[in-house]
A and B are shown apart, each in its own frame.
Chain A
Amino acid sequence: MRTNLKSREQFSKLSYGVYLLLVITLIAFLIASGSQGSAKGVLNVIRQAAPLGIVAIGQTLILLMGGIDLSVGSVMTLVNIVASSIMAGRNDNIGAAVVVCLLLSAMIGLINGLIIAKFQMPPFLITMAMGSIIEGIYFVYSKGSPNGSIASRFRVISDGWIGGTFPIAILVWLAFWGLVSFILYKTPYGKRYYFTGGNRRAAYLSGIHTFSLTVSAYVLCSLMAGIAGLMISAFIGVASMSVGTDYTLNSIAATVIGGTSFNGGIGTLEGTFPGVLIMAFLQSILTMLNISQAGKNISQGLIIIIMVAMNHYKQK
């Protein structure tokens, strides 16, 4: 299973299967939407997938590095609640809200990363406990009934259409995708993700500072979750206690559809991109069929199991 890094990377870039799957789900979506199916309908689904797309970028980085982050959903809800209460519908407060939310999410990532790297704790339990703590914090902060709303000018990033034809949200998503792709593939820092995920001990012995890499990965992932939380806030416009719940598993599902391995070191961002779209089309089909919540849960589970098993057999 452990082949050399070069061929692993080549393998992981080979994601034609994912694009085929994407085409199939797209056709299924068009058939399911029937007479209402249109280019605008498709763009609308992609627009709604932007928050998932951004949080999945973070999750991909973490899985590549050999960890997992189960707190992203709670971070998104926290950001949603804090942003709406600070903005309170006023355009003057946008700057303050964005800065506070990004600092909060970076801080959460820092704590996750420090505990996991310093004490070598299992990442999924630490991030899960962190998720529970964040949940408690936003319940206490909002006293169970969140209030406030998102400023109208801020809502443009998720609701706006350039010239009425192309959603701004997709551009924001593509911008982050491009930026993180550049960091991951073109900088030495990004290469270290593959080395560390592939073999942490060997990476450490070859002089990679795995401690700071781990911490920075969790900070980046939490930041992505924070940005995704801002996007989803701009999308729904109000504070909601459960807006992020689905995103933890969805981001993992989207990432593994794209061929990223749970063992670390294998995977790409251009695999995660269609993975996100597949999840988005699938879930809007389920919503159209009126089995949204139960169907969402079942499809998340089935997709993860099938994709992980398939990836395993491909790698053999």
Chain B
Amino acid sequence: MLVGSVKRQLKQAIPAYVIWILMIILSAVLSPDFRSVGNISNIILQATPLAIVAIGQSIILIMGGIDMSVGSVISFSTVIVATASNLVGGFGSFAVAVLAGLLVGIVNGLGVVYLKIPPLIMTISTGAIVKGLALLLLPSPGGNVSESLMSFFTASSGCFSVAGVFGILLYVIVTVFMHQTRTGRYLYATGGNPLHARQSGLAYNRLTILSYALAGLFAALAGIILAARSFSGDPVIGDTYNMDSVAAAVVGGISLTGGIGSVVGAFAGSYILAMINNTLNMLNVFAYYQYIIKGLILVLALLVFQLKRRKKYED
């Protein structure tokens, strides 16, 4: 229904950018600490893994599915990077982690398409399996991330690290892919109305598998950056990213019913979430309040964005 116009899809992201810019201005005026180069590069480093997972989650949501295995794929890829470095070298472990993420994504896609398992259930299940595998490989946080991989991603000048620039680059590529290529448009069409998409001859199965594979790929990349940042593997580090990535996408104006919104919005969404985290840390709020606040943000964002949308389409 919105498929015809790129502009209308991009419009969905405007509220997120308005909120984000207001947040930046407010924090910059109120807190001198916020303006420091160290803090800004810190926020970018914190937001980048979330922003990268959110790309994959957004593609899936736009296509009309959901991926609850991204958190486990992130953990698994940090574990792979931390254990395989000694065997295959820094960039070898990078390649292994990316392949593992792709594989999990393809399995998700195959399950959804051929076994006809609802996406939520399929991805929760593969998520549990992958988390189990991560725990088998590395029962407790630790391991050894290769020096070269770490110095590559954390190298920085001013506010920008390689990881941050890498994240922005991925956003540019995926935005062009989603809005300017035929496959991207097909993904929107599939999410907008799966039945019509199939009846118009779109390769529904291939598109579904492709989008889950991409989600797995981006989750693996996020995991690699997390491992490079923390210099270790952790079999449970990704657990919170399932909910956070959906929250980032929803805050960024992407609809849960598929076919509406733009990946561009998820970028602002992830930075909003990361900045809220950062502010809470700076205000010395007891760390556990963050669970409550994250949950409330997701519910609120759902209420605000989904309700508005429902009314618009019912009229």
Q: Does A16 contact B (CB under 8 A)?
A: no
Q: Of the 9-residue stretches B81-89, B123-131, B141-149, which lies at the interface with chain A? A: B123-131
Q: Shortest beta-carbon distance, A203 to chain B, in Å?
A: 20
Separation of A304 and B310 alpha carbons in the complex (Å): 32
Chain B residue numbers with a CB within 8 Å of A35 are none
Total A residues in contact with B, Cβ cutoff 8 Å: 41
Whether B121 pairs with A308 at a CB distance below 8 angstroms is yes
Whether A129 pairs with B136 at a CB distance below 8 angstroms is no
Total B residues in contact with A, Cβ cutoff 8 Å: 42
Q: Shortest beta-carbon distance, B135 to chain A, in Å?
A: 4
Separation of A145 and B256 alpha carbons in the complex (Å): 37
Separation of A295 and B135 alpha carbons in the complex (Å): 9
Q: Does B115 contact A (CB under 8 A)?
A: yes
Q: A139-B288, A294-B136 are in contact. Are A132 and B294 (CB under 8 A)?
A: yes
Within 8 Å by CB of A133, from B115, B120, B292, lies B292
Separation of A124 and B292 alpha carbons in the complex (Å): 17
Tell me the residues in window 32-56 of chain A with beta carbons closer than 8 Å to chain B beta carbons: none
Q: A119-B303, A300-B125 are in contact. Are A132 and B243 (CB under 8 A)?
A: yes
Whether A294 pairs with B299 at a CB distance below 8 angstroms is no
Q: A136-B291, A136-B293, A294-B133 are in contact. Are A304 and B298 (CB under 8 A)?
A: no
Tally of A-B Cβ pairs under 8 angstroms: 122
Whether B295 pairs with A312 at a CB distance below 8 angstroms is no
Separation of A291 and B121 alpha carbons in the complex (Å): 24
Q: Does A122 contact B (CB under 8 A)?
A: yes
Query: Which of A140, A262, A305, A308 has its CB near the most chain B CB atoms (within 10 A)?
Result: A305
Separation of A129 and B131 alpha carbons in the complex (Å): 20
Q: A121-B306, A249-B124 are in contact. Are A136 and B298 (CB under 8 A)?
A: no
Whether A304 pairs with B135 at a CB distance below 8 angstroms is no
Tell me the residues in window 243-260 of chain B with beta carbons closer than 8 Å to chain A beta carbons: 243, 246, 256
Whether A304 pairs with B125 at a CB distance below 8 angstroms is yes
Q: Does A69 contact B (CB under 8 A)?
A: no
Q: A136-B292, A294-B133, A301-B132 are in contact. Are A312 and B303 (CB under 8 A)?
A: no
Whether A125 pairs with B298 at a CB distance below 8 angstroms is yes
Q: Does B302 contact A (CB under 8 A)?
A: yes
Q: Shortest beta-carbon distance, B248 to chain A, in Å?
A: 13
Chain A residue numbers with a CB within 8 Å of B291 are 132-133, 135-136, 139
Whether A133 pairs with B132 at a CB distance below 8 angstroms is no
Whether B129 pairs with A297 at a CB distance below 8 angstroms is yes
Whether B306 pairs with A305 at a CB distance below 8 angstroms is no
Q: Does B38 contact A (CB under 8 A)?
A: no
Q: Does B313 contact A (CB under 8 A)?
A: no
Separation of A260 and B88 alpha carbons in the complex (Å): 45
Q: A119-B306, A140-B288, A140-B292 are in contact. Are A297 and B128 (CB under 8 A)?
A: yes
7 A-B pairs besides A133-B291, A301-B129, A304-B128 with CB distance below 8 A are: A121-B303, A129-B243, A291-B136, A293-B139, A297-B135, A302-B125, A308-B115
A/B interface sample: 29 pairs, CB < 8 A: A119-B307, A121-B302, A121-B303, A122-B256, A122-B302, A128-B243, A129-B299, A130-B299, A132-B298, A133-B291, A133-B292, A136-B295, A249-B124, A249-B128, A263-B118, A294-B132, A294-B133, A294-B135, A295-B132, A296-B132, A297-B132, A299-B132, A301-B128, A301-B129, A305-B117, A305-B122, A305-B126, A308-B121, A309-B117
- Please give the residue numbers on chain A whose beta carbons come within 8 Å of chain B beta carbons, in ascending order: 68, 115, 119-122, 124-126, 128-133, 135-137, 139-140, 144, 249, 252, 262-263, 291, 293-302, 304-305, 308-309, 312
- Please give the residue numbers on chain B whose beta carbons come within 8 Å of chain A beta carbons, in ascending order: 111, 115-118, 120-122, 124-133, 135-136, 139, 242-243, 246, 256, 286, 288-296, 298-299, 302-303, 306-307, 310
